[in-house]
Amino acid sequence: MSDQTKPRETIFVVDDEPVVADTLAAILRQVGFATNSFHHPQAALDQAQINCPNLLITDVIMPGMTGIDLAIQMQKVCPQCKVLLFSGQAATADLLEEARTRGHEFELLSKPIHPADLLAKISNQE
Amino acid sequence: MRDLAYRGRVLIIDDQDATRYVFRRILTKAGFQVEEAATGAEGLSKSLDGPDLIISDVNLPDMLGYDLSRRIKSNPVTSSIPLLQISATFISEESKVQALEGGADSYLVQPVEPTFLVAQVQALIRMRKAEISSRLSAIEWQTTFNALNDGLALIDPAGVILRTNQSFLRLLDLKHSDAEGKKLFEIFDSKFGLPLTDFLAFRSAGQSPELSYGSRWFRVLYDRIPEEPFREDAFILLLTEVTQQRKLQETLKMTERLAATGRLAHVIAHEINNPLEALANLIFLVQQSPVLDRGNRELMNQALIQLERISEITKQILIYHRESKQPVLADGTDLLQGVLAMFRPQMMVNHVELITHFKSSRPVWVHPGEMRQAFGNLVSNALDAIGEDGGTLRVSCIDTTDLLTKRKGVRFVFSDSGSGIPQESLLHIFDAFYTTKDLKGSGIGLWLTSEVINKHRGRVRVRSRTSGPFRGALFDIFLPERRPDESAIILQEVHS
Ligand SMILES: Nc1ncnc2c1ncn2[C@@H]1O[C@H](COP(=O)(O)OP(=O)(O)O)[C@@H](O)[C@H]1O
Ligand SMILES: [Mg+2]
């Protein structure tokens, strides 16, 4: 468990597959993060207006909004928010490339990722 | 000459002046122009002027009537001129037959009734005109239809082939004598291996099956030619070669199928990835539980390992179908290991021992997805050749210099202990759609592999033994170290 005296890092987990979002949030909670899980990208954006996360972990291909668009909008609301994308699809490479040409550089993890590896990635982000 | 319409020119051959005189009178009165000859020899030479009809006595001083007729009929210049033979005295039916066999078209006995003579002459001349015009139209038909690329045959109501054009004969490897006068159903049977009745049944069912002969494919049209009302109908058979279209279509179908398979694999892999992610998380959560005993914790560990195996497979599939437009600098060993990982389960099940020898440190420029596919096809073929009873697959990867072109690069060798490739197959294994595996094979594996290797300016070599202790096939691939465009320049240097 992390130091209780300093404010806990807040992580938003967004995935249109509820089990994926919820279990990932649970794992992160176990290691001491304050986590919110969302099944719709818009819900995460709405919550960001109230409370900015330190980190956004989001699926890429989702109905309504891609994870990349979500990340770009999120960083408008919360400029300090870091982003980790994770996706099971190869097609996301194109989306990522497109984001890059628009000046946004995101790290992409491919699903499935071992939770331990994910935790290692997150601690690197900090 | 009277103002009667010109009705034709008649040559009279008779040694009797009186007979010639009578005939001339009768015929000129009826509107014919008349030439005369008193001997057979004179008659023969005048016949070359092309009269419309020849009347000849059977009793000439210099030759017999049927000799004359035979000579007229055997000369191509005069053979089509109708010949009417007249005998001055009554002769036997036998002589009449003889005269007709010599080629006379008709035979009359003196004394001849003038009106009867005129009627006979008119009939013979009319007949000839009809014959000439029909022969002319036949020639026209032939020249026009020989110019067609489509094969064409005219069939009479009894199903006998009347005429064909050159294309028809060429397309079906026939000689004139094989076709004309023969029954259509025989040609159908022997060339298309399809009973004509079956074809007609298809046709009346509204289908138009394409038929094949040898390596050619045809669209076949068989239709009635409307004739005069009282005649039975003749048929026309039209063969249009569609081999090229068919080949194109098949290639398109195959490409489409490939693309569809790729897409499908992609979708499946992705669909599997989400539940896999969830599963990994769930197992991880269970593992974190403080109440889990040691044994169960170990079981959970095992579950996670199995899960990773599935993840590896889906990852490979996704990489497989990912399009990379630019070549990248890749490590040959990494490429190979990725490919071999995909086949590990199959090797285990089929007791295939994998012996690897990786000694390469030289990166190569490749399109990784394509190269994986190329290697994958070689491994897959090797496993097919080894079968289910076990064997050995040796895979090596070493730095090398191509002896022929002096290019530096990497050599990949796949050698199996399978059935080997018979000599006669070796020529074809790189052909698209060549397979010896019937429905289980597509025949595109090696074709694709050689395409990919060529695109990378590499080279494939095969060696094979079908018996003995070193039985099996060996595929030897060379990939140059340089970028494809650079090596293209080098290749040109070598060739010039
Ligand atoms: N390693 C091998 N051992 C024996 N035969 C082989 C081997 N590799 C290829 N072949 C032969 O070459 C043919 C063509 O191979 P390929 O193009 O991959 O098509 P497919 O595997 O679908 O038949 C195979 O059907 C087989 O007869
Ligand atoms: Mg194959």
**Which CATH number is B125's domain given?**
3.40.50.2300
Least confident of B10-24, B133-147, B200-214, B423-437: B133-147
Mean pLDDT of B193-203: 85
Q: For position B232, what pLDDT does the model report? A: 65
Of the residues B241, B260, B287, which one is the last residue of a structural domain? B241
Report whether pLDDT(B242) > 70.
Answer: yes
Please tell me the distance from the alpha carbon of residue A105 to that of residue A107, in angstroms, as a whole number: 7
**pLDDT tens-digit map of A83-99:** 999 887 655 667 777 78
Band (A35; pLDDT cuts 50, 70, 90): very high
Yes or no, beta carbons of A20 and B279 under 8 Å apart = no
Using the Cβ of B269 and the Cβ atoms of chain A, whether some distance falls under 8 Å is answered with yes
Query: Is B89 within 8 Å of B165 (Cβ atoms)?
Result: no
**Given B126, B144, B162, which residue is the final one in a domain?**
B144
Q: What is the pLDDT of residues B358-383, one digit of tens each?
A: 999 888 888 887 788 889 889 999 99
Q: What is the mean pLDDT of residues B6-19?
A: 88
What is the predicted pLDDT for the residue at B493?
A: 33
CA B397 to CA B411: how far, in whole Å?
6
φ, ψ for residue B317 (rounded to 5)? Answer: -60, -40
CATH number for the domain including B156? 3.30.450.20
Select from A27, A88, A90 the Cβ nearest to the Cβ of B281: A27
Give residue B319's pLDDT: 59
Query: Six-digit token pair at B334?
Result: 């990494």
Strand partners of residue B86: B57, B108
**Which pLDDT band, with edges at 50, 70 and 90, does B139 fall under?**
confident
> Which of residues B316 and A109 earns the better pLDDT score?
A109
In terms of residue numbers, what domain contains B311?
A: 247-321
Band (B231; pLDDT cuts 50, 70, 90): low
**Angstrom distance (rounded) from CA B125 to CA B138:** 20
B11 near B53, Cβ under 8 Å?
yes
In a domain? residue B295: yes
Q: What is the CATH number of the domain that holds B350?
A: 3.30.565.10
Residue B457, both tokens = 């300016």
Partner residues linked to B107 by β-bridges: B85
Q: Which of B281, B304, B321 lies nearest to residue A20, judging by beta carbons? A: B281
Confidence of residue B68 (pLDDT cuts 50, 70, 90): confident
Binning pLDDT at 50, 70 and 90, where does residue B3 land?
very low
- DSSP 8-state symbol, B75: S
Same-domain pairing of B483 and B336: yes
Q: Which ligand is nearest to the CA of B449?
A: 1
For residue B316, how far is its CA from the centre of ligand 2 (angstroms)?
18
For the ranges B5-9, B36-40, B106-110, B234-238, the maximum mean pLDDT occurs at B36-40
3-class secondary-structure state, position B11: strand
- Look at B274 and A30 and tell me if their CB atoms are within 8 Å: no
Q: Which ligand is nearest to the CA of B437?
A: 1
Rounded Cα–Cα distance for residues B327 and B366 (Å): 5
Residue B493 counted as domain residue: no
Answer for the pair B153, B132: CB distance below 8 angstroms, yes or no: no
d(CA B18, CA A43): 128
Domain boundary among B181, B211, B241: B241
Q: Give yes or no for B17 touching A (CB within 8 A).
A: no
DSSP letters spanning B316-337? HHHHHT---SS-EEE-HHHHHH
Same domain, B309 and B181: no
Residues B367 and B468 in one domain: yes
pLDDT one-digit tens code per residue, B440-496: 677 778 887 888 898 788 999 999 999 999 999 999 999 998 754 444 333 333 332
Residue A89, token pair as written in the block: 């699809």
Q: Which domains does chain A have, with CATH numbers?
A: 10-125 (3.40.50.2300)
Centre a 10 Å sphere on the Cβ of residue B341 and count the other Cβ atoms it contains: 14
- Which residue(s) pair with B474 in the sheet? B415, B463
- Rounded Cα–Cα distance for residues A18 and A14 (Å): 9
pLDDT in tens, B397-423: 999 998 878 889 999 999 999 999 999
Rounded Cα distance, B431 and B267, in Å = 30
Please tell me the total count of domains within chain B. 4
Please state, in angstroms and rounded to a whole number, the distance separating the CA atoms of residues B121 and B130: 14
DSSP-assigned beta bridge partners for residue B392:
B353
**Is residue B77 in some structural domain?**
yes
- Give the E-state strand segments of A1-126 in sequence order: 10-14, 34-38, 55-59, 82-87, 107-110
Residues composing chain A: 126
**Whole-angstrom distance, CA of residue A32 vs CA of residue B389:** 54
Say whether both B362 and B478 belong to one domain. Answer: yes
**Interchain pair B273, A30: CB under 8 A:** no
- pLDDT at position B263 is 65
